[in-house]
Amino acid sequence: MIAGLVDAILYYLGAALLLIGGVLDVIAAIGMNRFRNFYLRLHAATVGAIGGGFYPLLGLGMIALTMHGLGETRLYIAGIAFTTALFLALTAPVGSHALAQGAHRGRVVLPEPVVVNKLLEDEEKQGR
């Protein structure tokens, strides 16, 4: 009874996460298309990486846990999905951060419109 309840909760939570992931991916795609400059688009890309990658992987792991027909394999699938989700959550923001930092430090793109740019002031003070 309890096991069935846990399974049901895991399954529907997983399905909901998968659905959220799909929706967020669409939103990220629209953002990539519609945002004006590099830094804003980076925001959309991160929505795609975390919302469209992290959440569906979590959901996939949860759904896999309920698939008892797979035997022990479901544990492997869930474990791999959760581990991948963890590392995605760790590395995706760093990727966008490195891109933004590289673009800013190399003066490839400057944020625009901009009210105040403390990073630029700091970098010019340090003479980079």
Partner 1 sequence: MTRWSDLKEIIIATAAALLLVALSALLASSGLVAAPPPSDNRWLAEKFLTLTYNAERKALWAASPEVVTSILWDYRGIDTVYETSVFFFAIIGALMLVRSYKPARGEKIEGRGMSVIARTVTRITLVAIPVVAASIALHGHLTPGGGFQGGSVFAVATLLAIVALGTGFLVNRGWSKGRLLGFRTLGLVIIVFVAIAVPIIGLMDGGRAYLVQNQEKPWSGYGAGYIYSVLGLDILYSGTLLFLNLAEFLAVSAGLTLAFLVMGLPREKLYKGGDVE
Which of the stretches 4-12, 15-23, 83-91, 108-116 binds partner 1 when contact is defined by CB under 8 A? 83-91
Q: Identity (one letter) of the amino acid at 31?
A: G
User: Binding to partner 1 by residue 73, rule CB under 8 A?
Assistant: no
d(CA 42, CA 103): 11
d(CA 31, CA 82): 27
User: Binding to partner 1 by residue 108, rule CB under 8 A?
Assistant: no
Q: Which of 3, 90, 114, 116 binds partner 1 (CB under 8 A)?
A: 90
User: Binding to partner 1 by residue 101, rule CB under 8 A?
Assistant: yes
d(CA 62, CA 59): 5
Q: Which of 91, 112, 122, 124 binds partner 1 (CB under 8 A)?
A: 91
d(CA 18, CA 34): 24
d(CA 17, CA 49): 14
Contacts with partner 1: how many residues (CB under 8 A)? 10
User: Binding to partner 1 by residue 121, rule CB under 8 A?
Assistant: no
Least gap, CB of 101 to partner 1 (angstroms): 6
Binding site for partner 1 (CB under 8 A): 26, 30, 87, 90-91, 93-94, 97-98, 101
